[in-house]
Homo-oligomer: A and B are copies of this chain.
Amino acid sequence: MATMRAAVFVEKNRIVLEDKPVPEVGPLDALVRITTTTICGTDVHILRGEYPVAKGLTVGHEPVGVIERLGSQVRGFVEGQRVIAGAITPSGQSYACLCGCGSQDGPDTRHGFRAIGGWKFGNTIDGCQAEYVLVPDALANLCPIPDGLSDEQVLMCPDIMSTGFSGAERGEVNIGDTVAVFALGPIGLCAVAGARLKGATTIIGVDAVAERMSVARQLGATHVVNFKDGNVVEQIMALTDGRGVDVAIEALGTQGTFESALRVLRPGGRLSSLGVYSSDLRIPLDAFAAGLGDYSIVTTLCPGGKERMRRLMAVVQSGGVDLSPLVTHRFKLDDIEAAYELFAHQRDGVMKVAITP
């Protein structure tokens, strides 16, 4: 039986490279040989034991690779084709999926729904920080890479770009909107790009790291606010001449950013939340107009599926958004433990790393 190298969650604070068997391919699956992948902030939560996964699971959910073998029922693709798959891999066939809720896909639970159930790679099945990954429901999830795009150019599509853009989409950004994005990590930066793609004209990024603020400007932020320069809410209200923003995108997952996002909204505005929270949230009565302000709060888990991936790669191909500045470091899969070390501690100005087996 063939074996492969894979980054495996062993226990809290230990993700290590191990040998595992290359997976067997069921009728609905595709085996993809990974050519490039990356590490996500969520993987760091897993590493630290903050997000529980099974011991022995291969982590990673951002696959770029080549089709090695197709399941017997998977038509329309050929072995050797370059493909990506989304971090979220909906089946397309559950009640949740047929409701348009593929990220909450739970074939076997709650009548087709399960919270976060669409996220399988590196969560409920083996992920892609490995030489090979098995893509489930391959018909719905494999997406060919257009000619001319490099692995790194599409590396952000499976998760960061899909998530960030969804912040603007679910926030229903319209032409002429004013948008604030709280925290300019990779997802916040993609939210900035998404807001611009949807026609926002004033886009205010909030962070304190100079490099991130600089990349935000490249991606479309018209203003950046440094939270170390004083009260963020006051700064944004001043920038908008007291009006507030139409859409506030939360991209960190803390009470502070959530609350500031709510406080800068104009009445009737939308708070689009992307962050992964780690404690209860508080909605202050005044910021919420006692429930009478026509506010909306929406949360979104990274949309997946091959149509989503096709669209995101089309954005890259059209030159509409260039996320290459986000890949700041490159590692071999054999050195992934060092990559985790760097990324988890946010050393050396790292934004995203590219991992190549």
Contact = CB atoms under 8 A, between A and B. Distances in A.
Interface of A: 27-28, 72-73, 75-76, 91-101, 103-104, 106-108, 110-117, 119, 137, 139-140, 165, 169, 174-177, 194, 197-199, 201-202, 222, 241-244, 253, 266-268, 273-285, 288-301, 305-308, 310-312, 314-315, 317-318, 320
A282 B283 CA distance: 6
A305 B100 CA distance: 12
A165 B274 CA distance: 29
Contact of A98 (B108, B119, B293, B305): B305
Nearest to A250: B291
A166 to B, nearest CB: 10
Given A280-B282, A312-B176, A110 B243 contact: yes
A300 B93 CA distance: 21
Contacts of A115: 267, 289, 292-293
Contacts of A72: 27
A314 B114 CA distance: 21
A176 B314 contact: yes
A111 B241 contact: yes
Contacts of A282: 280-283
Given A27-B27, A98-B305, A317-B201, A294 B288 contact: no
Given A93-B137, A93-B139, A175-B315, 18 more contacts: A75-B108, A92-B98, A93-B140, A98-B140, A99-B307, A103-B292, A103-B294, A104-B266, A104-B268, A107-B139, A165-B175, A176-B310, A201-B320, A275-B291, A278-B290, A280-B284, A281-B282, A296-B299
Interface centre among A27, A99, A241 (most CB of B within 10 A): A99
Contacts of A315: 175-176, 199, 201
A73 B76 contact: no
B95 A310 contact: yes
22 contacts: A93-B137, A95-B310, A98-B140, A98-B305, A99-B307, A104-B266, A104-B294, A106-B267, A110-B266, A110-B267, A113-B243, A169-B174, A176-B314, A198-B198, A201-B317, A201-B320, A253-B290, A274-B291, A278-B285, A280-B284, A281-B283, A292-B301
Contacts of A278: 285, 290
Contacts of A140: 92-93, 98
Nearest to A318: B201
A281 B290 contact: no
- In the complex, the 3 A-B pairs of residues with the closest C-beta atoms, listed nearest first: A176-B311, A104-B267, A92-B92
B296 A296 contact: yes
B285 A113 contact: no
Contacts of A312: 176
Nearest to A138: B93
Given A176-B312, A305-B98, A111 B242 contact: yes
A206 to B, nearest CB: 18
